[in-house]
Structure 1
Amino acid sequence: METIVFDIGETLVRDDRYWASWADWLGVPPHTLSALVGASVVRGGDGADALGLLRPGMDVAEAARARAAAGRGEYLDESDLYPDVRPALAELRSLGVRVVVAANGTARAGDLLRALDLPTDLVVTSEEWGVTKPDPEFFARVLEVSGAAPSATLYVGDHPADDLFPARSCGLLAAHLRRGPYGHWWADHPDVRESADFRITALTDLPALVGDRPDPEGPRALRAV
């Protein structure tokens, strides 16, 4: 493995602040929105579906712009990172692995992440590229910046439909991370077990995979629970 590419939400960064800020904007208790997000995941939906349940017909993009205009837009800092992020990324860099963050997100999210000065070679978001996951063009762009062949590029994420399946269909290796609502709910699904080259429970599992090859008999699960 020469390059490892990371998703952002519930891979590097907790989404707690994000959903709590939406709950505050909509005037509902945070646990109410969290419950709806969980219900949406179980039904195969996403967070926008949860917001729609609270405010039917709401234009989420327009509401996000209104939040930003009111000074209540996106924000993240060191406390939003999962504790394994810095040590895992730093160890990968020390092993000579190119570390890239490329995921769905706004240009502001990219700026906020770059301001954290993570041990990465590149941080880029879908808004900056003008294409979003799971579009195959997004993963074509991933391969452009990876500097490695698809067979030597690993994409790591929690979301099967946005991360695992499209990465594999574009020829990349893929690791499914059991983290966050999507990661936990779908971790043991037969399609995930069949499609993932690796199944991990922490980013600190990754350095052990450098130089490893996928098991032809099925995905290798590291400390799966």
Structure 2
Amino acid sequence: MIETIVFDVGETITRDDRYWGSWADWLDIPRHTLSALVGAVVAQGRDNADAVRLARPGIDIAAEYAAREAAGRGETIDESDLYDDVRPALAGLRKLGIRVIIAGNQTSRMGELLRGLDLPTDVIATSGDWGVAKPDPAFFARVLRAAEAAPRETVYVGDHPANDLYPAKAAGLRAAHIRRGPWGHLWADDPDVVAAADWRIDNLTELTSIIAD
């Protein structure tokens, strides 16, 4: 029986369009250029931050984050950044008695912004809040503490096999892989993903049917 569902953030709950667009604008390069670099590093199985490093070799990303904040061009999020199915899916799961958590690799600032959206969740936390990031097993230990349920009663939902699917399964959780964003589409039909995922979905609202059944 499923008691808790935990959601990744980028390209699961939120669109990354504006995030990468803002980086391109800050670096003063065409948005298409940075988007293409993101696609390239994704296909190579590299960290998506490598796209920024390719655009500006030697860049100190942490320092650039601070500079953007100081310039009033830091992280931001609003309703338009959410996928359309997010609120209906989360609300539907809570009506079914499911504990709903959002936990992903984001800054503490992004955690504050997400909590400010008043989403129908029980907990919203980020790697910045916890001081540990996916795919570190310690991140999923924190997920299970927040879940307040046994691993087999907890589902982690995400788009990235290496950051979401595989480490969640290694921690004993069940996992749903969503075909969404570059990572989700690229690896959706990969044999290892197909074998590892308990469910493969195209839309978050599918989860309410999975739980109801």
Is TM (by shorter chain) over 0.5? yes
**Cα distance in 1 for residues equivalent to 2:62 and 2:48:** 13
Q: Secondary structure at the match of 2:14?
A: coil
Aligned to 1:117: 118
Matches within 5 A, 1:63-74: 63-74=64-75
Deviation of the 1:68 alpha carbon = 1.0
Deviation of the 1:211 alpha carbon = 5.5
**Cα distance in 2 for residues equivalent to 1:39 and 1:23:** 16
Q: Which runs of 4+ in 1 moved over 2 A?
A: none
| 1:185 counterpart = 2:186 | yes
TM-score, length-normalised on structure 1? 0.92
Aligned 8 A contact 2:4 2:154 in 1: yes
Residues paired across the two proteins, number: 212
**Cα distance in 2 for residues equivalent to 1:87 and 1:186:** 26
Matches within 5 A, 1:23-38: 23-38=24-39
**Cα distance in 2 for residues equivalent to 1:209 and 1:140:** 25
Aligned 8 A contact 1:6 1:101 in 2: yes
How big is each residue's C-alpha offset from its partner over 1:35-76, in whole Å with a ceiling of 9 and x where there is no partner? 110111111113211111111111111111111111110000
Aligned to 1:86: 87
What is the identity, as a one-letter code, of the residue corresponding to 1:49? D
What is the identity, as a one-letter code, of the residue corresponding to 1:33? L
**Cα distance in 1 for residues equivalent to 2:30 and 2:69:** 21
**Cα distance in 1 for residues equivalent to 2:168 and 2:76:** 28
Aligned 8 A contact 1:165 1:195 in 2: yes
Deviation of the 1:190 alpha carbon = 1.0
Aligned 8 A contact 2:7 2:103 in 1: yes
What is the identity, as a one-letter code, of the residue corresponding to 1:44? G
How big is each residue's C-alpha offset from its partner over 1:172-193, in whole Å with a ceiling of 9 and x where there is no partner? 0000010000000011111101
Gaps in structure 2 of 5+ consecutive residues = none
Matches within 5 A, 1:37-186: 37-186=38-187
TM-score, length-normalised on structure 2? 0.98
What is the identity, as a one-letter code, of the residue corresponding to 2:171? C
Gaps in structure 1 of 5+ consecutive residues = 213-225
Deviation of the 1:208 alpha carbon = 1.0
What is the identity, as a one-letter code, of the residue corresponding to 1:189? D
**Cα distance in 2 for residues equivalent to 1:103 and 1:20:** 20
Moved more, 194-203 or 54-63: 54-63
Aligned 8 A contact 2:96 2:212 in 1: no
Aligned 8 A contact 1:158 1:183 in 2: yes
